[in-house]
Structure 1
Amino acid sequence: MTARQEVAKREPTEVQTKAREQELVLAPAVDVFENSHGITVQAEMPGVSKDRLNVQADRNSLLIEGDVVIDMPAGMEALYTCVQATKYRRSFVLSGELETDQIEASLKDGVLTVRIPKTAEFRPRKVEVRTA
């Protein structure tokens, strides 16, 4: 058996490679902040563009997903790469005091910022004091 045949024998098949790529998902580093008006989630997702980003929220969950695109120069093919996963995914359980209908998301410099306001009944309100 030649050296090339030996390497080919050890290389994973296309099906094995696709299955492995589907399993490997990166959990982005996340900071979560809360104030009296709601919560803010900031997730580091370098290499993810707006069109490859998926943010979903329902009553009690938030899902953040994004695909990294690695651009290759024209006419070149990668022979080896250290990148093991090209997908970010992170999910959170949300409390019932948040208004997921009013969610806002923005992406800047590889950082996704998601703002979810609290419902009016859970926001602090100022009580006017009258004098008698």
Structure 2
Amino acid sequence: MSDHKQATSRAGADPEQQRAVSPAVDVFEDAAGITLLADMPGVPREQLELNIEGDALLIEGGVQQPTPEGLEAVYAEVRVPRYRRSFTLSRELDATRIDASLKDGVLTVRIPKQAHAQPRRIAVKAA
């Protein structure tokens, strides 16, 4: 699996896409697959998207800026980030069985290995 950081400024891109931020991600591997832990503070589950395109996993999420009811910002210095990160998945991983959860601003993504790529114990019989 390799990491592809998205370019944060492109000519003609809308302003929201220009403010894309790469979330910090920890990657752990065990015999059965990999686990990604991505820090995405302020991103509600409704604003989080995980997509598989070919062999790429794309993680995107937008932070919701709380605005007091009945008020509208006329000037704001706070920039609300949009998180975006892309990973190329190994063929050993089973993209059809990805499991994801979001808790306390941390996105946990579990990607199991294909059955043929997982180690297995072979029983030896007495002859």
Pair in the same fold by TM > 0.5: yes
- Structure 2 match to 1:81: 77
Structure showing the higher helix proportion among its residues = 1
- Structure 1 match to 2:107: 112
- Structure 1 outlier segments of 4+, above 4 Å: none
* Pair 1:19–1:119, CA change in 2 (3 A): closer
Partners in 2 of 1:98 and 1:59 — Cα distance? 13
- The DSSP-based 3-state class of the residue aligned with 1:51 is helix
Question: May I ask how many residue pairs the two structures share in their alignment?
Answer: 114
The percentage of counterpart residues that share the same residue type is: 50
- In structure 2, the gaps of 5 or more residues are 1-12
Partners in 2 of 1:116 and 1:57 — Cα distance? 12
- Structure 2 match to 1:57: 52
- The DSSP-based 3-state class of the residue aligned with 2:21 is coil
- In structure 1, the gaps of 5 or more residues are 1-17
Higher relative contact order (CA 8 A, sep 6+): 2
Cα RMSD over matched residues? Answer: 1.6
Partners in 1 of 2:103 and 2:77 — Cα distance? 26
Q: Structure 2-normalised TM-score?
A: 0.82
- Structure 1 match to 2:64: 69
Structure 2 counterpart of 1:39, from 22, 34, 37? 34
Q: Structure 1-normalised TM-score?
A: 0.79
